[in-house]
Amino acid sequence: MRTTFVVALVTVILAVMLTGGCPRKPQPTSQAPLPAQPKAAQTPAATAPEAGTMPDFPGLAPSKKYKIALIMKTMSNPFFQAMDRGAKGEARKLGVDLSSLAASKETSDLEQAGIVENEVAKAVDAICIAPADSKSLVPALLKANQANVPVINIDNRIDRLAAQQAGLKLVTFIGPDNEAGAEKAARYLAEKLGGQGKVAMLEGIRGVDNAEARKHGFEKAMTAFSGITVVDSQSARWELEQGETVFANMLTAHPDITGLFCANDMMALGALRAIDAAKLKGKILVASYDNLKAAQDKIKAGDLLCTIEQHPDLMGAWGVRCAVALLEGETIPPEIAVPTDLITKENVK
């Protein structure tokens, strides 16, 4: 009887901790230490909430109108428009003065670094950044650290080693498990191919954390199917036009490709154009990532097999909420995971 009570008590305590509901003492600490372990050995911190939940900081009532900068990659990708909407909605609720900023292109990482420096110079209270590159933004973000402007990393991770070596402190990372998300989409593709055939991948910008993680997820999924050969994998730098050109060239080299995984929808939309131009519509199954409106339309039309919803709206909203909570003295978990959902013709909206 007594043992049952103890087991039940421990279970309740663990459940409360895992859902992020444990009571939190307000602490003045602002910067969570960077985990020291290599990537493979990392596990979420004990206080990190499950994917799709986040500490809600009940009763969060800002004591002043905070100035927060949301710095994204480029508004030319509708993915960031969704992130912007989420952040603006939360900023309205919390009375935050939010500046939404972005560089011109997917490849404009140095321009993005300039935006970070400008915002630091304007003395914003916090920065939420979806970095275009995982390493080249480090020096600009260090300037934020030096000026005591807390940095919340969303969507794409700053490279842990580069951050550690530079002594860069990030409050938290809010984003998906990109490897698991890509693996989910790629496994679905392999299953729909009946575990047979020649497949290829269009990668994001090489060396960038989420692009590399999605590539690993794709490779992991494909190695489980002995009848599938990966014949090509190249970067199309997240862009539609590049997706079209790179995949058109791949098709010339490998006209018998029957499956393609793209690390984002923009590249997939480009690849679908190349498939059309090569008169191969219906012969190649395409899987991708982001669940943009244009991708949903392609799924409904039967041109795209599946995509992954990774909730950029939540990344934006939670980024703003965590920034405010931190400025109000709350402790922020070092990792906050957003879910990845497989979207197919069965559940597309």
Give whichever of 79 and 188 is closer to ligand ALL, judged by the CB atom. Answer: 79
Site for ligand ALL in 91-110 (CB under 6 A): 106
Give whichever of 238 and 247 is closer to ligand ALL, judged by the CB atom. Answer: 238
Amino acid letter, residue 39: K
What DSSP string describes 79-133? HHHHHHHHHHHHHHHHT-EEEEEEESSTT-HHHHHHHHHHHHHTT-SEEEE--SS
Give whichever of 203 and 290 is closer to ligand ALL, judged by the CB atom. Answer: 290
* Three-class SS state of 128: strand
Q: What share of the chain is helix, strand, coil (3-state, %, to 5)?
A: 40, 15, 40
Give whichever of 197 and 217 is closer to ligand ALL, judged by the CB atom. Answer: 217
Distance of CA 142 to the CA centre of its chain: 22
| 238 binding ligand ALL? (CB under 6 A) | yes
Q: From the CB of 214, what's the least distance to ligand ALL, in Å?
A: 8
Number of residues that bind ligand ALL (CB under 6 A): 13
| 125 binding ligand ALL? (CB under 6 A) | no
As a whole number of angstroms, the distance between CA 211 and CA 179 comes to: 9
Out of 100, 242, 258, 264, the only residue in the binding site for ligand ALL (CB under 6 A) is: 264
Give whichever of 100 and 156 is closer to ligand ALL, judged by the CB atom. Answer: 156
| 212 binding ligand ALL? (CB under 6 A) | no
Pick from 78, 27, 35: which is nearest to 57 by CA? 27
As a whole number of angstroms, the distance between CA 111 and CA 127 comes to: 16
Q: From the CB of 304, what's the least distance to ligand ALL, in Å?
A: 15
As a whole number of angstroms, the distance between CA 203 and CA 194 comes to: 23
CB 288 within 8 A of CB 304: yes
| 289 binding ligand ALL? (CB under 6 A) | yes
In the chain, what is the greatest distance between 2 CA atoms, to the nearest angstrom?
72
* Three-class SS state of 129: strand
Nearest position to ligand ALL, beta carbon = 264
Out of 55, 66, 70, 77, the only residue in the binding site for ligand ALL (CB under 6 A) is: 77
| 210 binding ligand ALL? (CB under 6 A) | yes
Pairing assessment for the beta strands 126-129 and 67-74 based on DSSP bridges? parallel
As a whole number of angstroms, the distance between CA 210 and CA 219 comes to: 14
Q: From the CB of 221, what's the least distance to ligand ALL, in Å?
A: 17
| 155 binding ligand ALL? (CB under 6 A) | yes
| 290 binding ligand ALL? (CB under 6 A) | yes
Q: Which residues bind ligand ALL (CB under 6 A)?
A: 73, 77, 79, 106, 130, 155-156, 210, 238, 264, 266, 289-290
